Amino acid sequence: MSGSPKVLNRSQKAAAVLLSVGSERAAKVLAHLGEEEVEQLTVEIATLGDLSRHQVEGVLGEFHDEALAHAELVSGGEKPARELMRRLRGPEADAIVDRLLATTQSTPFHFVRMHEPSEVLQHLRDEHPQTIALVLAHLPPRLGARLLSGLAPDVQTSVATRLAALERAAPEVVRRVEEALRARLGEVRPRSGRRDGVKELAQLLNQVDNATERTILGELEAMDPALAERVRALMFLFEDLITVDDRSLQELLRAIDTQVLAVAMKGTSPELREVINRSLSARARSSLEEEMDLMGPVRIREVEEAQNEVVRTVQRMEKEGVITVSRGGQEEFIA
């Protein structure tokens, strides 16, 4: 970190304290605050940036020892803001954070979140794949995945290849692309930095539908097998649950709603079904079987959505250190 440390206001100091104690404790604190205070702190967390160890010590004071045990560098950003809000608001969290960030000038392409994906796609489809990759790299994975899925198959592959290779964007380039897209959408704020393109592509592919994922990975495999393998190594697919150790799988299954799991298991391999059933208690297994028998045929799209929800739970619990996973890679109905 170069230059003089930035001076923090009271709200930013509060955000630093919440970041330093972790999302679970922070969520308990936020539960006692009013909605306006929660939203203000969420914005501060998302826009705080990095604080040095010295700054954290100065802010925390009596929490000094706990801060040192937690980390030498506290990083603000969109991810911790979303984690906190998810603990408080559940399914509504992402929409709330998107709305809050869209009102700030702190993130590139922040205004895109205020538009329907179909509207954004109308203005992205004719852009060069490199330009589209730049935009997607700065968007939340869920939104980026929806946009990527809406592109033509050949464009998807070109964008995915460029996204995986994307490392650094010059501030002026980001600013020009933002200005052009903003003008088209009727709506800027540049920010540059290193991007982990392979990781971001893997995150996007974890969110898209299975057909899009197979198309992109297949084309990527043909063009650059080594790159395709790097992407696969960072992905976790629903069928990969079969590789999760027993303890972690039991923890995971306790965190997943029975109805979601029942839909996700429609059409899965007998091997995976056996592994999951073996990890459930007799009562939980009976409830799951009853749920699956009662629901009847389910659209493939709904199965994929449920499986993606399970995968997101895996990613969250792995990040929190609760579980450990290893990695390798028309409407129809499933009866």
Residue 160 placed within a domain: yes
Question: Are residues 230 and 174 part of one domain?
Answer: yes
First and final CA of the chain: distance in angstroms? 57
Mean pLDDT of 18-36: 77
pLDDT > 50? residue 163: yes
Residue 321 placed within a domain: yes
Structural domain of 130: 110-234
Question: Are residues 251 and 213 part of one domain?
Answer: no
Q: What pLDDT is stored for residue 78 in this prediction?
A: 67
Of 9-18, 66-75, 145-154, 243-252, which range is least confident?
66-75
User: Which contiguous run of DSSP H or E holds residue 75?
Assistant: strand 74-75
Mean pLDDT of 32-61: 76
Question: Are residues 158 and 73 part of one domain?
Answer: no
Domains identified in the chain, total number:
3
pLDDT tens per residue, range 53-98? 778 777 776 445 444 444 445 556 667 777 777 777 677 777 777 6
CA 97 to chain CA centroid, Å, is: 12
Indicate the pLDDT class of residue 102, thresholds 50, 70 and 90.
Answer: low
pLDDT > 90? residue 183: no
Residue 17 placed within a domain: yes
What CATH number did the domain enclosing 198 receive? 1.10.220.30
Q: How far apart are CA 93 and CA 39, in angstroms?
A: 11
What letters, b where the CB count within 10 A reaches 16 and e where it falls short, cover 170-201? eeeebbebbeebbeebeebebbeeebebbebb
The residue from 102, 128, 146 where one domain ends is 102
Indicate the pLDDT class of residue 14, thresholds 50, 70 and 90.
Answer: confident
Evaluate whether 139 touches 147 at the Cβ level (below 8 Å): yes
Q: How far apart are CA 284 and CA 305, in angstroms?
A: 22
Residue 195 placed within a domain: yes
Q: What pLDDT is stored for residue 177 in this prediction?
A: 86
The residue from 102, 121, 148 where one domain ends is 102
Residue 4 placed within a domain: no
Mean pLDDT of 125-144: 85
Question: Are residues 70 and 52 part of one domain?
Answer: yes
The residue from 69, 102, 135 where one domain ends is 102
Question: Are residues 189 and 227 part of one domain?
Answer: yes
Question: Are residues 140 and 204 part of one domain?
Answer: yes
Question: Are residues 183 and 141 part of one domain?
Answer: yes
Q: How far apart are CA 152 and CA 149, in angstroms?
A: 8
Bridging pattern class, strands 298-299 and 333-334: antiparallel
- pLDDT-above-70 percentage for the chain: 80
Q: Which of 148-157, 302-311, 316-325 has the highest mean pLDDT?
A: 148-157
